[in-house]
Structure 1
Amino acid sequence: MSAAEKPPSDVLPPLRVLLCAPRGFCAGVVRAIDAVEKALALYGPPVYVRHEIVHNKYVVEGLKAKGAIFVEELHEIPSGTSAPVIFSAHGVAKSVPEDAASRRFFAIDATCPLVTKVHREATVHHKRGREVVLIGHAGHPEVIGTMGQLPEGAVSLVETAEQARHFTPRDRDNLAYTTQTTLSLDDTAEIVAILKERFPAMVAPHKEDICYATTNRQEAVKKVAGSVDAMIVVGAPNSSNSQRLREAAEREGCAIAVLVQRASEIDWDRFGNIASLAVTAGASAPEILVEEIIDAFAERYAITVETVHTVQEDVFFPLPRQLRPDAAE
Structure 2
Amino acid sequence: MTLTTLLKKGPEEILLAEPRGFCAGVDRAIEIVERALTKFGAPIYVRHEIVHNTYVVNDLKQKGAIFIEDLDAVPPGATLVFSAHGVSKAIELDAQRRGFQIFDATCPLVTKVHVEVAKLHKEGFEFIMIGHKGHPEVEGTMGQLDSGIHLVEDVADVALISPLQTERLALVTQTTLSVDDAAEISAAVRARFPSVRAPKLQDICYATQNRQDAVKVLSPQVDILIVVGSPTSSNSNRLRELAAKLGTLAFMVDNASELQESWFEGRSRVGLTAGASAPDILVKQVIDRIKALGAVSIRKMDGIEETIKFPLPKGLRLDAQGQPMEINSSKLHQQS
Q: TM-score range by the shorter chain?
A: over 0.9
2:241 pairs with 1:244: no
Match of 1:59 in 2: 56
d(CA) in 2 for partners of 1:322 and 1:305? 42
1:49 counterpart = 2:46: yes
Alignment partners' CA distance in 2, 1:250 and 1:214: 17
Equivalent residues in 2 for 1:194-273 (5 A)?
A: 194-254=188-248, 256-273=249-266
- Deviating above 3 A after TM superposition, structure 1's stretches of 4 or more consecutive aligned residues are 11-14, 326-329
| 1:8 match | none
Letter in 1 for 2:127: V
Tell whether the 8 Å contact from 1:230 to 1:257 is kept in structure 2 after alignment.
yes
| 2:73 counterpart residue number | 76
Matches within 5 A, 1:181-192: 181-192=175-186
Establish whether residue 310 from structure 1 lines up as the match of residue 307 from structure 2.
no
* Equivalent residue number for residue 139 of structure 1: 134
> In the alignment, is residue 276 of structure 1 matched against residue 269 of structure 2?
yes
What do residues 112-140 of structure 1 show as CA deviations (whole Å, max 9, x unaligned)? Answer: 00000011111112111111111100000
- CA displacement 1:127-179 (0-9 Å, x = unmatched): 1111111110000000000000001x311001101112343322122210100
Secondary structure in structure 1 of the residue aligned to 2:17 = strand
Confirm whether residue 97 of structure 1 aligns to residue 97 of structure 2: no
Question: What residue identity is the alignment partner of 1:38?
Answer: R
Question: 1:37-84 CA deviation, whole Å, 9 max, x = no partner?
Answer: 000110111111110000001011111111111111111112x2x331
CA RMSD of aligned residues (A): 1.6
- Deviation of 1:322 after TM superposition, in Å, equals 1.8
- Is the CA contact (8 Å cut-off) linking 1:12 and 1:300 kept in structure 2? no
User: How far apart are residue 268 of structure 1 and its match?
Assistant: 2.0
1:14/1:198 CA distance change after superposition, 3 Å: closer
TM-superposed CA distance for 1:325, in Å, is 2.2
| Counterpart position of 2:116 | 121
Residue in structure 2 matched with residue 6 of structure 1 by the alignment: none
The answer to whether 1:319 aligns with 2:312 is yes
**Range 278-287 or range 304-313, more displaced:** 304-313
Q: Write the letter of the residue equivalent to 1:197.
A: A
**Counterpart residue type for residue 122 of structure 1:** V
Unaligned runs of 5+ in 1: 1-10
Alpha-carbon separation, structure 2, partners of 1:195 and 1:233: 31
* Separation in structure 2 between the aligned mates of residue 53 and residue 216 of structure 1, nearest angstrom: 22
State the alpha-carbon separation in 2 of the partners of residues 115 and 43 from structure 1: 27
Counterpart secondary structure, 2:115: helix
Partner of 1:226, secondary structure, is helix
Instruction: Report SS of the residue matched to 2:266.
Output: coil
Q: In structure 1, what residue type is equivalent to 2:258?
A: E
CA–CA separation in structure 2 for the residues paired with 1:296 and 1:326: 41
User: 1:272 Cα shift?
Assistant: 1.6
Residues of 2 paired with 1:226 and 1:33: CA distance? Answer: 34
Single out whichever of 168-177 and 216-225 deviates more from structure 2: 168-177
Aligned to 1:171: 165
Give 1:149's aligned residue: 144
The residue that corresponds to 1:295 in the other structure is: 288
Partner residue of 1:29 out of 14, 26, 30: 26
One-letter identity of the residue aligned with 1:94: K
- What TM-score, normalized by structure 2, do the two folds share? 0.91
Task: Give 3-state SS (helix, strand or coil) of 1:178's partner.
Answer: strand
Cα distance, 1:326 vs structure 2: 8.7
Q: Secondary structure at the match of 2:299?
A: strand
Q: Secondary structure at the match of 1:107?
A: strand
